[in-house]
Structure 1
Amino acid sequence: MDMRQRPYRSVLYIPGSKPRALDKARNLPVDAIIFDLEDAVPVEEKNAARDILKEALAAGGYGARFKIVRINGLDTEWGKDDAKAVTEMDADAILLPKVASPADLDALAKITGDLPIWAMMESPRGMLNAAAIAAHPKLAGMVMGTNDLAKELQSRNRADRLPMLTSLGLCLLAAKAEGLIIVDGVYNAFKDDEGLKVECEQGRDMGFDGKTLIHPAQVDVTNAAFAPSEAEIELAKRQIAAFEEVEASGQGVAVVDGRIVENLHVATALETLAKAKAIEALAAE
């Protein structure tokens, strides 16, 4: 499945140092996994985590789940060794934390070669440079690091995420301009399904491809929120049919539910159906 055509509704962080968690992830209904060597791994376990993760990925069993490895920053004592290690792992992409400029991606690409790079967007500098970062030839995806960003902004936590909207919008614009995947930040209250649902719907409405998760309990809510609903699928089919009927007859204007249907609406409808089909295919693998 083409990387940009596949679903990225749920992207779960898994500590790279915990064999039990790595094993459990093989059976979770997530679209992608971020195998974390950074924040989720204590300092004293960072070197051992590389070998544990490499062994787990070599053993396989993750099916069609997209496999991303987040390394420590290249300015840390572990970053360069992490990057070298990931090139020898069965990973689909490497995730660099705290990307502030394209130069950070250049430095990583010198180590990782052709391996697709994803960028953690989690600093004010990164927000201001989002367009230049997104345009980097090796970049394939962006991940919002909203916890670190909130710390840097000294912003308050609000249900409507008003303090985050400028940053989310800048990264969305940059990612969409370059055809990248972009996933929203985490929702920290992992037992609050209703709050998670509201934040997922906000992210989906804005245009995010999916959401990063910190706990398996968040997967079902997130998968549902970022998948086309039955109503959206049905509407897409009716829009396509109405447009094709008018095209064939050469007369009139296509109208569905009192709204005119144009080429752009048909394009969106086709994307909706393609996404639903991709989700079905992923579930079947």
Structure 2
Amino acid sequence: MLFRSLFFAPANRPDLLSKFPRFSADCYAVDLEDGTPPDDKITAREALADNINMLRKAEVKGLVYVRVNEPESSFYLDDIAAAVKCDIDGIIIPKLETPDQCDPIISAIRKAGKADTTTRSIKIMGGIESMLGVLNVNRLCSAIDIMSSVFFGAEDLAADMGARRSEEGDEVLYARSRVVLAAKIAGIVAIDVRNDEQCRRDASKGRDLGYEGKICVIPRQIDICNAVYAPTEEEVAEAYEVVTVYRDAMSRGIGTIDFKGKMIDGPLLKRAEATLAISKIIKNRESA
């Protein structure tokens, strides 16, 4: 499952949603939350099914998610009820802080599944955007079976903390690292977000920390993130060499394996195999 780029458009703007098929994002989000003004939220929710059907008919590539309003809002439960009736791949919960906030979605998904055996397997993406969310991130990542990914929202967290934002982002580095660590331990995808003009630099820093993708706020960022979060040709070539040398050595009963002056051990092999797997997924996606 690729999440190199996650691209949002407001749920009340079908003209913008209709442009999704033009882009090459790995995941698209129909946004009932921040992107949709309060006065338009109900009408946008009522039009949700039609907009999702429009995207499916257009054979949009990539996953299709719906971002509902935050759990503490008056829109949350009705958003969930509308979303699970649609042909979507997942639901994004913004400002997620405790596992029990996912209960209404889990219940709604189960009911929808019993009513319609053709319903897709809907996953949850949690937004870790507050101090409490960061403190509870281990439980949020591991306690919910259908939690397949989380994203880290630096701007909301900084506002919650009263932190002053900087280009380097050191004020949120601890939280940013804690979120990706919790996701990796739970075996789910970690997605980064920071709404600034330094997209490539910030995406590269996120990848170095272990994030697997980034939220894109404008279309031109999609290709940047797809490139940053994909292995380079050199990385793929080296990964192939590592795996080849390792397998050859194992077939000849050699336990100590030297590769370009360093020993091939379990972590190095695991990283190489993961690089080749991601490369294969990307190639299949691009050729589809």
Q: TM-score, normalised by structure 2?
A: 0.91
Aligned partner of residue 268 in structure 1, secondary structure: helix
Give the aligned length: 275
Report what 1:192 is aligned to.
Answer: none
Aligned pair partner of 2:262 in 246, 259, 279:
259
Q: CA deviation at 1:66?
A: 1.0
Q: CA deviation at 1:252?
A: 6.2
**Moved >6 Å (runs of 4+):** none
**Residue pair 2:3, 2:212 contacting (<8 A) in 1 also:** yes
In structure 1, C-alpha distance between the alignment counterparts of 2:36 and 2:254, rounded to whole Å: 64
Q: CA deviation at 1:97?
A: 1.4
Aligned partner of residue 194 in structure 2, secondary structure: coil
Aligned partner of residue 269 in structure 2, secondary structure: helix
**Residue pair 1:71, 1:79 contacting (<8 A) in 2 also:** yes
Q: For residues 62-104 of structure 1, what are the alpha-carbon distances to aligned partners after superposition, in whole Å with 9 as ceiling and x for unaligned?
A: 4341111100123322211110000111110111111111111
In structure 1, C-alpha distance between the alignment counterparts of 2:240 and 2:98, rounded to whole Å: 42
What are the ranges of 5 or more consecutive residues in structure 2 without an aligned counterpart?
114-121
In structure 2, C-alpha distance between the alignment counterparts of 1:119 and 1:39, rounded to whole Å: 15
**Residue pair 2:155, 2:195 contacting (<8 A) in 1 also:** no
Q: For residues 249-277 of structure 1, what are the alpha-carbon distances to aligned partners after superposition, in whole Å with 9 as ceiling and x for unaligned?
A: 22363222211112332221111011011
1:160 correspondence with 2:168: yes
In structure 1, C-alpha distance between the alignment counterparts of 2:150 and 2:95, rounded to whole Å: 11
In structure 2, C-alpha distance between the alignment counterparts of 1:110 and 1:242, rounded to whole Å: 49
Aligned pair partner of 1:231 in 234, 238, 243:
234
Report what 1:55 is aligned to.
Answer: 50
In structure 1, C-alpha distance between the alignment counterparts of 2:59 and 2:167, rounded to whole Å: 34
Q: 1:183 to 1:101 in 2, by over 3 A?
A: same
Q: How does 1:40-189 map to 2 (within 5 A)?
A: 40-59=35-54, 60=56, 61-113=58-110, 115-135=122-142, 136-189=144-197
Q: 1:57 to 1:283 in 2, by over 3 A?
A: same
Q: CA deviation at 1:156?
A: 1.9
Bigger Cα displacement from structure 2, 214-223 vs 244-253? 244-253
In structure 2, C-alpha distance between the alignment counterparts of 1:64 and 1:196, rounded to whole Å: 23
**Residue pair 2:32, 2:68 contacting (<8 A) in 1 also:** yes
Q: 1:251 to 1:137 in 2, by over 3 A?
A: closer
Aligned partner of residue 227 in structure 1, secondary structure: coil
In structure 2, C-alpha distance between the alignment counterparts of 1:81 and 1:251, rounded to whole Å: 61
**Residue pair 1:94, 1:116 contacting (<8 A) in 2 also:** yes
In structure 2, C-alpha distance between the alignment counterparts of 1:33 and 1:45, rounded to whole Å: 20
Q: CA deviation at 1:208?
A: 0.7
In structure 2, C-alpha distance between the alignment counterparts of 1:129 and 1:97, rounded to whole Å: 14
Q: For residues 144-190 of structure 1, what are the alpha-carbon distances to aligned partners after superposition, in whole Å with 9 as ceiling and x for unaligned?
A: 1221111111112222211111111221121111111110013332x
In structure 1, C-alpha distance between the alignment counterparts of 2:91 and 2:53, rounded to whole Å: 16
Bigger Cα displacement from structure 2, 219-228 vs 136-145? 136-145
Q: CA deviation at 1:52?
A: 2.9
State the identity as a percent. 26
**Residue pair 2:189, 2:212 contacting (<8 A) in 1 also:** yes
What are the ranges of 5 or more consecutive residues in structure 1 without an aligned counterpart?
1-5, 190-194
Report what 1:206 is aligned to.
Answer: 209
In structure 2, C-alpha distance between the alignment counterparts of 1:284 and 1:27, rounded to whole Å: 16
